[in-house]
Chain A
Amino acid sequence: MESLRGELKQPVIESSDTEDAEINLGLCGQPDLRVQIGSLELRNPVMTASGTFGYAREFENLVDLDHLGGIIVKGISLQPRPGNPPPRIFETACGMLNAIGLENVGVDRFISGKMQYLRSLSTPVVVNILGDSLEEYSEIARKLNEVDGVASLEINISCPNVKKGGVAFGTVPEMAARVTEAVRQASDLPLIVKLSPNVTDIVLMAKAVEKAGADAVSLINTLIGMAIDPITRRPRLANVIGGLSGPAIKPVALRMVWQVAQAVSLPVIGIGGITTADDALEFFLAGASAVQVGTANFYDPSAAENIVQGITAYLQEQGEDRVVDIIGTLKTGTE
């Protein structure tokens, strides 16, 4: 990360004469898309969401990975997980249900098998981590803390706490705070806590993790839903229920981001159905400092890259020099 931050800052702070011409050209023509998520600086505010982008290499032939603001890899647990039985996905109106069951290679094989490639990218890599107990979260965080090329951790708190009888970390503020504290103690990396929308008041969750030491919150994870085949009278997913994602959930996500952004002083990362630059811009205006593109990676692998270009075009049209200047500029009064 140090080298990356150095590269990004270098042209602005110190540069030779020959570089000056390029920089001036850059500043005149291109708005500044850099955003700060805690101590993590992103070249632009468009990341790819966990679980929708594999370990990034899956997309190397279709996406210029070095154009992304950040890559959040598939959720990693302490031990490998096989995931749920099929069928695992089902398409719904403007969205999809999934019950993948957190299939992943486990933290050790992730480090030995996936990190070398991820390190070769210039884009910051955020590792999404999940566990069934506080100890598991701590252990994964400790292992990843020593790994070169991991820029940040995103804590997935949607798993049930097995030791506490399956009480979900993601739906009880005190539990979410304890996970955040545990990871905070185990790691120096910037911590993003990914919040579940399946709660009565997401603001309480955000405040709880802020107090517990999170550097940022990302929201929303999927909304729990289901679908049924009337002919067979069976659920469409083997797991019966699953997480709804895609454009169908965008209004809910936007509302929650807006509420959370007003209530906490942490950077907020917006997630939920983002497909176009306009979608992303809505989240920035509502108070998000960055966005994650999720399900759109499936149906339009070029979505994230197109969104970066669209944000640039919007800022130019609006006469804005920096993307950070539009964050939270939603007008709700009579002005």
Chain B
Amino acid sequence: MSEFQQKCTLLTRNRLAPDVFRLTFEAPKLAAQAQPGQFVMVRVIDGLDPLLRRPFSIHRNSVSNGTISLLFKVIGKGTDMLAQRCVGDQLDFVGPLGNGFDLSCKQPICLIGGGMGIAPLLFLAEQLQQTGREIEKDHVLLGARNRDELALLAEEFSALGYAVQLATDDGSIGHKGFIPDLLDFVLPTVERVYTCGPHLMMENIVRQCQQAEVSCQVSLETHMACGMGACLGCTVNGKKGLVHVCKQGPVFNADHLEWSL
């Protein structure tokens, strides 16, 4: 269960939307070890600009195929270069890193993903499904800008057996608006929420969960230089002082973090 550094070969490169990509790598050792919610630090090129590795949560994990997948939107130089890598290229990975989600909840749960925050939830959904829980009582709420970003991912959650509800900014699929609008109806039926997405979305969800007394696990994204607890660059405000997302997270109990609610 300890992290390692390894070159992984890019096997498939899918474009889900004009600026959204899913890359699948041959990574049997990572796949065998990784837990939902953990992340990898990827060197997008071997050169010095961009200099730092980029953190990506593990989006899909297949132990039998020996593969892991990353899902990302092109938002800057690093993700742009990553999107341009070709099948057969070898990229340098460090992982698996950080703490994963707590899967012990036996009662109905709700997974809530916004935008690229959906990435770690598919791995989580697959893993939860394999625990033999009553999946038909669970909920999945996904939000994004438009149909392009959401359609395929929504199908994949549905195929696992989850009841999926969607929200888009433009209403091109699902509810026109935001995920928290959908949550009020779901919260009374679940024991725990797992969420990852834009900070504002998570803030709203955490507030709703606290009011409904539903436990909530959040996965955070920050700038990171090392991912291993050395640079101390990825701090966020916790209830008892600063916490480091890479080592103490990226998954936190929402009650342990400071939210500007």
**Which of A84-92, A252-260, A283-291 forms contacts with chain B?**
A84-92
In the complex, chain A residues whose CB is within 8 Å of the CB of B12: none
Interface size of B as a range: 20 to 34
Q: Are A94 and B230 touching (Cβ within 8 A)?
A: no
Q: Hey, which chain B residues are within 8 Å of A96, CB to CB?
A: 51-52, 225
The answer to whether the Cβ of B161 comes within 8 Å of any Cβ in the partner chain is: no
A235 to B135, CA, bound (A): 46
With A87-B223, A90-B223, A96-B225 in contact, is A297–B51 under 8 Å at CB? Answer: no
Docked CA distance A106–B230 (Å): 16
Q: Decide: A86 and B235 in contact? CB cutoff 8 A.
A: yes
Which residues from B are CB-within-8-Å of A200?
none
Q: Is there contact, CB below 8 Å, between A298 and B231?
A: yes
Known: A59-B228, A62-B3, A297-B226. A88 touches B235 (CB 8 A): yes
Q: C-beta contact mask, A59-91 vs B, less than 8 Å → 1, else 0?
A: 101100000000000000000001101111111
Cβ B236 vs Cβ A86 within 8 A:
yes
The yes or no answer to A31 lying at the interface (CB within 8 A) is no
**CB of A53 within 8 Å of the partner chain:** yes
Given A59-B228, A61-B2, A298-B53; 19 other pairs, CB 8 A cutoff: A58-B226, A58-B230, A62-B3, A86-B234, A86-B236, A88-B233, A89-B224, A89-B233, A91-B52, A95-B51, A96-B51, A100-B233, A103-B232, A103-B242, A247-B48, A297-B230, A298-B230, A299-B53, A300-B92
Contact with A along B159-185 (1 / 0, CB 8 A): 000000000000000000000000000
- Majority SS of interface residues in chain B? loop
**A54 lies within 8 A of B48 (CB):** no
Are A98 and B231 within 8 A (Cβ)? yes
B49 proximity list for chain A (CB < 8 A): 93-94
Chain B residues within an 8 Å CB radius of A98 = 225, 231, 233
Task: Provide the bound-state CA to CA distance between A83 and B223, in Å.
Answer: 16
Cβ–Cβ < 8 Å partners of A91 in chain B: 50-52, 223, 225
Nearest residue, chain A, Cβ from B230: A54
* B237 CB to nearest A CB, Å: 8
Rounded to whole Å, the gap between the CB of B233 and the closest CB of chain A is 3
Main secondary structure on A side of the interface with B: loop
Interface string of B65-92 (1 = CB under 8 A from A): 0000000000000000000000000001
Please give, as numbers and ranges, the residues of chain A lying within 8 Å of B50 by CB-CB distance.
91
> How distant is B258 from chain A, measured CB to nearest CB, in Å?
11
Shortest C-beta distance, A309 to chain B (Å), equals 15
Contact of A298 among B3, B52, B92, B222 (CB under 8 A): B52
Residue of B nearest to A99 (CB): B233
Q: Which residues of A contact B234 (CB under 8 A)?
A: 86, 88-89
Pick the most buried of B51, B225, B230, B231: most chain A CB atoms within 10 A of its CB: B51
Tell me whether B94 is interfacial, beta carbon within 8 Å.
yes
